[in-house]
């Protein structure tokens, strides 16, 4: 058996990014052919979603490994039963969520992750949705003059900028940690699709290489606002057992912090990437 109980169907969530995949039970064995088909859909839509998948942590990590090498997250410890899986939680008494702003994951690493897979364990009665934005669409919508300006630029991405945002991620990391920084092209070429994507993000991008933060601010602020335009985005409503797999090379995400007083528990796995080119 390959895990498919019904014909595999794809339901796009918006015109720019995101699709739900239906007709598959990930608790059953999934064939290599099916995984290849899912990967093709993922590359087309940049983020894909599955619903009603009752995968325990070890099975969740095993499914993620079908798409790439699973790597540790730099600041948080994994679950005892499955160290590759970290818990992303906001509890009833907390006011700040994990990574609650537009960003791509850990862009301050020399080799940022290729992808991230998240499964919902407990969700609030309302709120807690996640927004996704297409970096392809953001690049494509730029004028030719702006594209020519951006192509030779590289940007400094720093974990120190994340500390200023006071997200739950950074508070859990603790102060005194070594600052991680990496320089990446502002426009990167996706290694599998060959498409160009705007590769800066509000959570981590500090400045352009060779410029000060003050000198970089005006253009970066424009790009941050541009890349999250509504027509570049989709919005996903989580349910227990929902899974998302997003492509960090061409998509941003933003978990919405609108459920104070309620619990939201997710499990996350990170997939190794390469140096942006």
Catalytic residue set: 103, 105, 253, 268
- Round to whole Å and give the CA distance between 157 and 141: 23
Cβ atoms of 158 and 179 within 8 Å: the answer is yes
List Cα–Cα distances, 180 to 70, 101, 109, 133, 172, in angstroms. Answer: 20, 19, 7, 25, 16
Cβ atoms of 82 and 235 within 8 Å: the answer is no
H or E segment and range at residue 224: helix 213-227
Cβ atoms of 37 and 66 within 8 Å: the answer is no
H or E segment and range at residue 135: helix 135-140
Could you write out the three-class secondary structure of 6-58? CCCEEEECCCCCCEEEECCCCCCCCCHHHHHHHHHHHHHHCEEEECCCCCCHH
């Amino acid at each position: 058996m390959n895990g498919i109980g019904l014909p595999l169907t794809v339901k796009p969530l918006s015109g720019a990014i995101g699709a739900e995949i239906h007709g598959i039970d990930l608790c059953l064995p999934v064939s290599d052919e099916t995984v290849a088909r899912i990967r093709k859909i993922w590359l087309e839509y940049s983020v894909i979603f599955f619903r009603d998948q009752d995968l325990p942590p070890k099975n969740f990590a095993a499914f993620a490994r079908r798409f790439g090498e699973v790597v540790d997250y730099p600041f948080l410890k994994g679950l005892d039963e499955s160290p590759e899986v970290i818990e992303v939680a906001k509890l009833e008494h907390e006011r700040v969520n994990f990574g609650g702003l537009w960003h791509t994951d850990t862009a301050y690493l020399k080799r940022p992750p290729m992808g991230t897979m998240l499964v919902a364990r407990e969700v609030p009665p309302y709120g807690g949705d996640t927004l996704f934005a297409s970096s392809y669409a953001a690049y494509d919508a730029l004028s030719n003059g702006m594209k020519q300006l951006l192509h030779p630029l590289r940007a400094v991405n720093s974990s120190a900028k994340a500390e200023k945002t006071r997200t739950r991620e950074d508070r859990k990391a603790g102060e005194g940690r070594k600052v991680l920084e990496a320089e990446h092209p502002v426009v990167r070429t996706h290694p599998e699709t060959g498409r160009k994507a705007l590769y800066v993000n509000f959570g981590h991008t500090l400045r352009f290489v060779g410029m000060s933060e003050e000198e970089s601010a005006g253009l970066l602020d424009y790009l941050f606002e541009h890349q999250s335009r509504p027509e570049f985005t989709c919005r996903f409503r989580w349910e227990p057992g929902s899974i998302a797999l997003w492509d960090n090379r061409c998509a941003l995400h933003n978990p919405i912090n609108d459920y104070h007083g309620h619990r939201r528990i997710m499990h996350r796995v990170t997939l190794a990437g390469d140096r942006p080119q």
